[in-house]
Chain A
Amino acid sequence: MTGAIRSKWNNASVRSKMLLAFIIPVILILIVNVYMYISINTMIERVDEIYVANVTLNDLSDDLTFLQNSMREYLESKGTAALNDYYTAEQDYRNGLASLDLKNSGTAVYAMQENIINQSENYLGIAGDTITAKRGRNVEKYKASYEETVELYSDLQNCIYALNSKQFKKNTGDYSILLSSLRNMEIITILILVFIGIVNIVVVYLMTKSMTLPLVDLARAANEVADGNFDVDIATGEGKDEINVVSKAFKQMVESIQRYIAQIRDSVMRESMLKEHELVMENRMKEVQLRSLQAQINPHFLFNTLNAGEQLAMMEGADKTTEFIENMADFFRYNIKKIDNDASIAEEIALVDKYVYILNVRFTGEIHYSKDIDEEVTEVRVPSMILQPIVENAVNYGIRDIDWEGHIDLKIYKDNGYVFLSIRDNGVGMSREQIDRILSGEAFGEVSADHAASNGIGLGNVIERLQIFTGQRDVMEIHSEGEGKGTEFVIKVPMHV
């Protein structure tokens, strides 16, 4: 039963619950009060009734006295007024007799009332005879009759008095019983009202508690959520009342917020991981550079040695040797100075010139090098050491092993806000796969692997640095029309970085 009532209670709306919580106690207390009111009213009515009988008997006694007196007066004076008084008194007395309460036969009171009525009839009869005798001037008869009425009058008065005191005694008894009953009822009423009141308080407390508990819980949860603790326990019962609905909605809301927070956290983590990855890449690149630099012969020593060689050649008057060693020295100086900084395109071109000169000395002028430079862009800044490695690559892989005359053409021009640096050779050329491997970075390792043969900086390194420098992915294009048709490397740098 508890379960059924419980589920009904849970499913009831808050308004219904509150109505119930107020109506039940109010109705119960009302019922008790109504009982009390009706019962006490009945009692009070009975208290009122109690002495009515005494009042009636007193009136009856008075009427009888008046009747006797008016008869006597008539007998004395034979006056019309006295006769009228007599008749009035007789009527009053008869009315009084009729009003005697003859309902409880079998009691002493009833018996006494009956006696009074019967004696009164006797008395009234004789009184009537007396009056008639007086009118008929029958002196002897009315005297005798009058004596008789006096006797009867006295008996009657005594009987009325006796009945009156008997009634009074009984009424007093009734009255005290009534009073004690009233007092008992008062005590019972107070006890029951106190009892119902106490039970009521407990029941109303429980009812309101059952209503407000989820609300209190909800408030606590809301406070916790407000303090930022989303991992909060929100009570939701089985009920369908408004508070429960709100609780459920709040719970869903908190859960949704928790889900969103988790999602955001995930994406932030993913992003930071990406960033971390990128940093790792950069570091690795730097590491590569560093290692490549360390791998080189201490350039200062080399540079100083070359300077010494140059002076030596100058002293010996070997001009070509002097120029060669000077170019070598400049080349390495640039390498030492510029590797960590950017440089102007003009400086890069100068480095390429020196490099090609050194190579042509080395390979006895096999390399035909031409330049087509837009002078407007020579001051544009680019990462240092980007042209020389490409030229080196063009020499080593493009034109070194060809049968025909090798050409390297450097062309620098601007177009649409970009500076294009093109190094074209007429060497063995490249297949599409090779180009893609270089551009996607897969060939970096390869380049690095044999960078012992070069000055140490591979194409991959160049591309990476260009990408970091420009912030763009698309920094280099490689064109080759196939085997034996040469290769063109085009570097694309924005005019203003």
Chain B
Amino acid sequence: MKKSSSEKQFSNKSYAFMIVGTAIMIVAAVVTGIIFSTITRTMQSVEQETATDYDKHYAFIAEDSESDFWQEVFAAANEQAKEYNAYLEDIGTELGRDYSEEELLRIAVNSKLDGIVYSGGSNDRVRKLIDRASDAGIGVVILQNDVETSRRQCYVGLNYYELGQMYALQVEKIVAEGQMQQTKVDILVDGDMSEGASNLIVMAMEDHIRESLGEDMIPEIVVTRIDAEDIFSAEEKIRNIFLEKENLPNIMLCANSVYTRCAYQAVVDYNLVGQIQIVGYFANDTILDAVDKQVIFSTISVDTQEMGKSCIQALFEYNNMGYTNSYLPVGIEVVDQAKAHQMIFEKENKVTEQ
């Protein structure tokens, strides 16, 4: 008898398919389970991804904290804070309206944080708040412009004498290269900068030029204080200098990255490139590019990394030991055209590598 037809039709292949099909369905069900539980787990971890317990809670308060300069300082400080298992809060960025540094300081003090990094104006109320913080055991580190006579724990900033000497060096170079007959130097400083600090810069410049070129070569040095009452006042005040044409300086020394940018823009706008030499402050892309093109003669680069790190180190030291250095200097260096060119090249290489 021939093999029965149904046996033939229902071959091993069909049985195999039945088994494989069932297996596929089971696998599909299991895979669904895995996918679902993964999605659910991913959802739960969304919140916790940045969560690490911290020991200390510090606040970072800076005038114009959105600027490149302060962003770099904050990034370095934040990096250091993480190393110390501390949380550095850029206080004020989340608040609904723009708070002054003083108000932010008040909130920080009232929030009973472990430490405050402050850079801003110095008036009596600020001083009182710093003292109150100090009384409450909150460490306060001042950046950039010191709040003198306050009971702050530490000041991290430039050595203004050193800055003055560097300015002097740049002035000498400009004078040598441009063979200027009459030299007028305008130093644009922060309204918050203390009288003492600005005097120190001028003194250092005069000392340096006297030593190297002689008493006769000391140029006329003017200090223009830019009171940053609001965000746009700096730009307006710098433009005003350019509008008073008879009093135009030959050399502008900017002690702030914002002033550098404003001065640079004004020189270009008023077609005074070459007539007014600018020595800038800070070395971001725009400024480096300008130095490379010699719209800005040179710039003083502040070590933002060092600045950010130092302030957190000081706070941490104070929290743990009860004391810290009252002054931590920040390194500065001159970036001239050659150096700027090199820095741009290095940055581009880094980007390409990435």
Which residues of A are interface residues toward B (Cβ below 8 A)? 1-2, 5-6, 9, 24-25, 28, 31-32, 35-36, 38-39, 42-43, 46, 104-108, 110-112, 114-116, 118-119, 121-123, 151-152, 155, 158-159, 161-163, 165-166, 174, 177-178, 181, 184-185, 188-189, 192, 195-196, 199-200, 202-203, 206-207, 209-210, 213-214, 216-217, 233-237
Which residues of B are interface residues toward A (Cβ below 8 A)? 1-2, 4-7, 9-10, 12, 14-19, 21-22, 24-26, 28-29, 31-33, 35-37, 39-40, 42-44, 46-48, 50-54, 57, 87, 89, 91, 94-97, 99, 103, 106-107, 110-113
Known pairs A108-B94, A161-B96, A199-B24; A32 contacts B110 (CB<8 A): no
Q: Find out whether the CB atom of B46 lies under 8 angstroms from the CB atom of A105.
A: no
A90: shortest Cβ distance to chain B, in Å? 18
B64: shortest Cβ distance to chain A, in Å? 19
Q: Find B2's partner among A32, A155, A192, A233 (CB 8 Å cutoff).
A: A233
A196 to B22 CA separation, bound complex (whole angstroms):
9
List of A residues within 8 angstroms of B95 by Cβ: 158-159, 161-162
Q: Find out whether the CB atom of A25 lies under 8 angstroms from the CB atom of B25.
A: yes
8 contacts between A and B (CB under 8 A): A28-B29, A104-B47, A106-B53, A108-B89, A114-B57, A115-B107, A118-B112, A185-B39
Q: Find out whether the CB atom of A32 lies under 8 angstroms from the CB atom of B89.
A: no
A237 to B42 CA separation, bound complex (whole angstroms):
53
Chain A interface SS verdict (over half):
helix
Q: Find out whether the CB atom of A111 lies under 8 angstroms from the CB atom of B106.
A: no
Known pairs A199-B24, A233-B2, A234-B4; A122 contacts B43 (CB<8 A): no
B101: shortest Cβ distance to chain A, in Å? 14
Q: Find out whether the CB atom of B96 lies under 8 angstroms from the CB atom of A9.
A: no
A141 to B17 CA separation, bound complex (whole angstroms):
90
Q: Find out whether the CB atom of B7 lies under 8 angstroms from the CB atom of A237.
A: yes
List of B residues within 8 angstroms of A234 by Cβ: 4
List of A residues within 8 angstroms of B37 by Cβ: 39
B52: shortest Cβ distance to chain A, in Å? 4
For residue A126, which residue of chain B has the nearest CB? B110
A198 to B36 CA separation, bound complex (whole angstroms):
21
Known: A192-B31, A234-B4, A237-B6. 15 other contacts (CB 8 A): A31-B33, A39-B37, A104-B51, A106-B54, A106-B87, A107-B47, A108-B89, A116-B111, A122-B112, A158-B97, A189-B32, A203-B18, A210-B18, A235-B5, A237-B7
Known pairs A118-B112, A196-B29, A207-B18; A105 contacts B51 (CB<8 A): yes
Q: Find out whether the CB atom of B94 lies under 8 angstroms from the CB atom of A200.
A: no
List of A residues within 8 angstroms of B43 by Cβ: 42-43, 46, 177-178, 181
A183: shortest Cβ distance to chain B, in Å? 11
Q: Find A206's partner among B21, B29, B35 (CB 8 Å cutoff).
A: B21
For residue A111, which residue of chain B has the nearest CB? B89
Q: Find out whether the CB atom of A115 lies under 8 angstroms from the CB atom of B5.
A: no
A158 to B95 CA separation, bound complex (whole angstroms):
6
A163: shortest Cβ distance to chain B, in Å? 7
List of A residues within 8 angstroms of B50 by Cβ: 106-107
Q: Find out whether the CB atom of B12 lies under 8 angstroms from the CB atom of A6.
A: yes
Q: Find A181's partner among B4, B39, B97 (CB 8 Å cutoff).
A: B39
B116: shortest Cβ distance to chain A, in Å? 12
Q: Find A28's partner among B25, B97, B106 (CB 8 Å cutoff).
A: B25
Known pairs A119-B110, A177-B43; A36 contacts B5 (CB<8 A): no
List of A residues within 8 angstroms of B39 by Cβ: 39, 181, 184-185
B42: shortest Cβ distance to chain A, in Å? 7
List of A residues within 8 angstroms of B42 by Cβ: 181
Q: Find out whether the CB atom of B15 lies under 8 angstroms from the CB atom of A119.
A: no
Q: Find out whether the CB atom of B6 lies under 8 angstroms from the CB atom of A122.
A: no
Q: Find out whether the CB atom of A111 lies under 8 angstroms from the CB atom of B57.
A: yes
Q: Find out whether the CB atom of B48 lies under 8 angstroms from the CB atom of A104.
A: yes
Q: Find out whether the CB atom of B21 lies under 8 angstroms from the CB atom of A35.
A: no
A473 to B111 CA separation, bound complex (whole angstroms):
143
B293: shortest Cβ distance to chain A, in Å? 40
A89: shortest Cβ distance to chain B, in Å? 20
Known pairs A207-B18, A233-B4; A200 contacts B110 (CB<8 A): no
Q: Find out whether the CB atom of B6 lies under 8 angstroms from the CB atom of A217.
A: yes
For residue B15, which residue of chain A has the nearest CB? A6
A36 to B35 CA separation, bound complex (whole angstroms):
10
Q: Find out whether the CB atom of B36 lies under 8 angstroms from the CB atom of A200.
A: no
A152 to B110 CA separation, bound complex (whole angstroms):
8
A270: shortest Cβ distance to chain B, in Å? 29
Q: Find out whether the CB atom of A158 lies under 8 angstroms from the CB atom of B96.
A: yes
